Amino acid sequence: MNKITESVKSEKGFYVGDIYYVLADKLYHGVWGEAHYHDGKYKDPETGFEFAVAGTAYGDGEYCDQDGNAYGVDAGVIGIVPLELVADFSGCENGRVCMGAGIANFTADNGCFEIGTPKDGTILIDTRAECEEDEWEDD
């Protein structure tokens, strides 16, 4: 896994979690799939909105952020998706919705995620560990 740092804009807010749950097939299998499901930032050709995604350390499972919020993962990835690109809002229950327009920053490094949102602050998810309280460690 390579370290990636990307920024994503939204006029509404963001979904943080496994992008499998919320993206339409045309983006998930089309745009991202055509790029062979690699880590990085991808653009919806219709709207111009972008999403960022990277692989977890151990694939599927349940991972927690520094506050103990759980993120269900079935596609081995965590990403950030502007709400403008969310096709299935029921899938948001597997991650976290952060309301508020602006720019979010997404950094993924060997299974550790740091997502800075305009309104909710920074979300830290370490997928190298089981989902437990107080699991986040500074490296």
**8 Å CB contact between 79 and 53:** yes
- Please give the model's pTM, rounded to 2 decimal places: 0.92
Report which DSSP code applies to 47. T
d(CA 1, CA 59): 12
Low-confidence ranges of the chain (pLDDT < 70): 1, 132-139
- Which sequence spans correspond to the domains of the chain? 4-126
pLDDT of residue 135: 45
Estimate to the nearest angstrom the gap between the alpha carbon of 92 and the chain centroid.
Answer: 11
pLDDT at 73: 96
Query: Which pLDDT score is estimated for 132?
Result: 61
Q: Are 40 and 52 in contact (CB under 8 A)?
A: yes
DSSP H or E run through 106: strand 102-109
90-128 tens-digit pLDDT: 999 999 999 999 999 999 999 999 999 999 999 999 999
